[in-house]
Amino acid sequence: MEINEIIKPENLVYEKPKLMNDNPMHYCPGCSHGVIHKLIAEVIAEMGMEDKTIGVSPVGCAVFAYNYIDIDWEEAAHGRAPAIATAIKRLNPSKMVFTYQGDGDLAAIGTAETIHAANRGENIVIIFVNNAIYGMTGGQMAPTTLVGMKTATCPYGRNVALNGYPLKISNLLAELEGTCLVTRQSVHNAAAVRKAKKMLRKAFENSMAGKGTSVVEFVSTCSSGWKMSPEQANKWMEENMFPFYPLGDLKNVE
């Protein structure tokens, strides 16, 4: 095939998701947020829910998520996304509603909102991007920071006696009656991306079927906050994050 033929959009194997617009992303090289955005955009379009989806943006690095995926969005104050999503979904049951939250947002300042929305079984999807750090504000310790992991506020490493244990909040959420799906995924390689997309779709379908709350955790990198190259960060995540936050379903009610 001639090169001009190959680069015709219909002949390309890879296509940018239709819902992702052309705004340049502000994320750092190697950041997991961009890939996760892409999966969300693909799943919404494949479900034909472009005009019926409302995302709730967080406070954190993904605060500008509304700039990149062309659906309706609502911005929430730090940690309050599940409460906002509750109101949106209850007032508009025909809409598909999801929150997008970092570990600081979901597991620190928003713990109460997260646990109670899930315990009420709100028909929403909670997308939880766990990079074990407060990325946006300069890499401070988060509830999910691993023991021994160095951050701006624990430069000698997280110390259990001082800082307590890392919080496996997805495990807590899986214990609640209101959740129907709690799964831990990642986007560090092609196989993981495919698996994550499948679970994301299941989560969105659950919310429309009225099955309760679905939680999709993404164990993620923060190369800037971790002070590593994107490649080192992926490797570090595999070696350190996955043993503590193992990938797979914690709960999947058919």
Ligand X SMILES: Cc1ncc(C[n+]2csc(CCOP(=O)(O)OP(=O)(O)O)c2C)c(N)n1
- Contact between 102 and ligand X (CB under 6 A)? yes
Q: Which does 105 bind (CB under 5 to 8 A by kind): Mg ion, ligand X, none?
A: ligand X
Sign of the Cα torsion 123, 91, 37, 10 reads positive
Residue type, 250: L
- Contact string (CB under 5 A) for Mg ion, positions 77-116, x = contact: -------------------------xx-------------
- Contact between 82 and ligand X (CB under 6 A)? no
Please identify the residue of the shown chain whose CB is closest to the bound ligand X: 102
Q: With beta carbons less than 8 A apart as the criterion, state whether 123 and 207 touch.
A: yes
Q: How far is the CB of 168 from ligand X (least distance, A)?
A: 15
Give the full edge-to-edge strand order of the sheet including 53-57.
72-75, 53-57, 96-102, 125-130, 213-219, 179-186, 248-252
- Contact between 83 and ligand X (CB under 6 A)? no
Between 39 and 59, name the residue whose CB sits nearer to ligand X. 59
Between 59 and 126, name the residue whose CB sits nearer to ligand X. 59
Between 78 and 198, name the residue whose CB sits nearer to ligand X. 78
Q: State which of residues 35, 68, 83, 103 lies at the interface with ligand X (CB under 6 A).
A: 103
- Contact between 131 and ligand X (CB under 6 A)? yes
- Contact between 105 and ligand X (CB under 6 A)? yes
Q: With beta carbons less than 8 A apart as the criterion, state whether 209 and 231 touch.
A: no
- Contact between 137 and ligand X (CB under 6 A)? yes
Q: With beta carbons less than 8 A apart as the criterion, state whether 147 and 166 touch.
A: yes
Q: What does the block give as tokens for 128?
A: 């939880």
Distance, in Å, from the CA atom of 49 to the CA atom of 97, rounded to the nearest integer, reads: 11
Q: State which of residues 17, 55, 135, 143 lies at the interface with ligand X (CB under 6 A).
A: 135
Between 130 and 206, name the residue whose CB sits nearer to Mg ion. 130
Q: What does the block give as tokens for 190?
A: 């092609």
Q: With beta carbons less than 8 A apart as the criterion, state whether 195 and 185 touch.
A: yes
- Contact between 166 and ligand X (CB under 6 A)? no
* DSSP string computed for 154-209: BTT-B-HHHH-PPP-HHHHHHTSTTEEEEEEEE-SSHHHHHHHHHHHHHHHHHHHH
What residues from 57 to 76 belong to the interface with ligand X (CB under 6 A)? 59-62
- Contact between 217 and ligand X (CB under 6 A)? no
Question: What residues make contact with Mg ion under the rule CB under 5 A?
Answer: 102-103, 131, 135
Question: What residues make contact with ligand X under the rule CB under 6 A?
Answer: 59-62, 78, 102-105, 129, 131, 133-137, 142
